[in-house]
């Protein structure tokens, strides 16, 4: 999603934002929230069962054991086909994809220790590529100052730029817009840098 040049720009943008606020901003881009192999396997099993009635139309010389073997071959073939990522992601319901991505965002919020910053001023910009999911999570100190509607406006602008194929520019713009809100909600009162500024990539 982002080449090395954009990754460096993101790190500089975060550093610039944090020089004007007491808040701690972390940006994470994950390739996917789950491999969804269980869902592709379930779909393969479903289609295999759906096609089972066709067995009665097989030539008379094919016995039960051979028909059973054909079912297994069909199941394995479909399971392998459905594990191709473009097909897998189409088979997964959007609700499940967003649920898995949201869970990963919250786990990362805790793992990156955004919940333990001074005055609870942690902010996470989370992007999940495969799920086309974007979320901004703010800790309690910021949530008291900035409503979810403000973050949602930034998210919608981010998604708009992503659809135009400008992923790098979209993330940089998102960081800058978050920075504007952070400067108002938690202006800098001391020099500190509790968390890493570089873009965190999750494969």
* Residue 193, C-beta contacts closer than 8 angstroms, at least 6 positions apart: 18
Query: Residue 58 has what DSSP assignment?
Result: S
- Coil, strand, or helix at residue 124? strand
For residue 99, the surrounding DSSP H or E stretch is helix 94-111
Average pLDDT over residues 61-89: 85
Please measure the distance between the N-terminal and C-terminal CA atoms of the chain and give it in whole angstroms. Answer: 12
Give the orientation angle of helix 167-185 with respect to helix 4-18, to 10 degrees. Answer: 10
Domains and CATH numbers, the chain: 4-34+94-202 (3.10.310.50), 37-91 (no CATH)
Condensed to tens digits (0 to 9), the pLDDT of residues 170-179 reads: 999 999 999 9
pTM recorded for the entire structure = 0.86
Q: Report the pLDDT averaged over residues 131-143.
A: 94
Q: Dump the DSSP string for 133-169.
A: EEEEEE-HHHHTTS-HHHHHHHHHHHHHHHHTT-HHH
Least confident segment among 64-68, 79-83, 194-198: 64-68
């Amino acid at each position: 999603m982002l080449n090395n040049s954009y990754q460096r720009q993101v790190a500089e943008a975060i550093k610039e934002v944090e020089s004007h606020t007491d808040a701690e901003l972390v940006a994470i881009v994950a390739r996917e929230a789950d491999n969804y192999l269980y869902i592709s396997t379930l779909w393969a099993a479903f289609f295999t069962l759906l096609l089972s009635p066709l067995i009665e139309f097989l030539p008379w010389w094919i016995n039960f054991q051979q028909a059973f073997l054909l079912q297994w071959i069909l199941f394995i073939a479909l399971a392998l086909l459905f594990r191709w990522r473009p097909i897998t992601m189409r088979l997964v319901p959007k609700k499940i994809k967003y649920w898995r991505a949201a869970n990963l965002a919250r786990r990362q919020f805790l793992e990156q220790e955004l919940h333990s910053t001074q005055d609870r001023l942690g902010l996470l910009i989370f992007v999940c590529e495969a799920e086309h999911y974007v979320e901004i999570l703010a800790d309690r100190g910021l949530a008291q100052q900035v409503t979810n509607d403000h973050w949602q406006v930034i998210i919608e602008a981010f998604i708009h730029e992503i659809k135009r194929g400008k992923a790098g520019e979209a993330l940089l713009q998102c960081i800058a817009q978050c920075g504007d809100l952070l400067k108002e909600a938690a202006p800098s009162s001391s020099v500190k840098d509790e968390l890493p500024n570089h873009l965190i990539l999750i494969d």
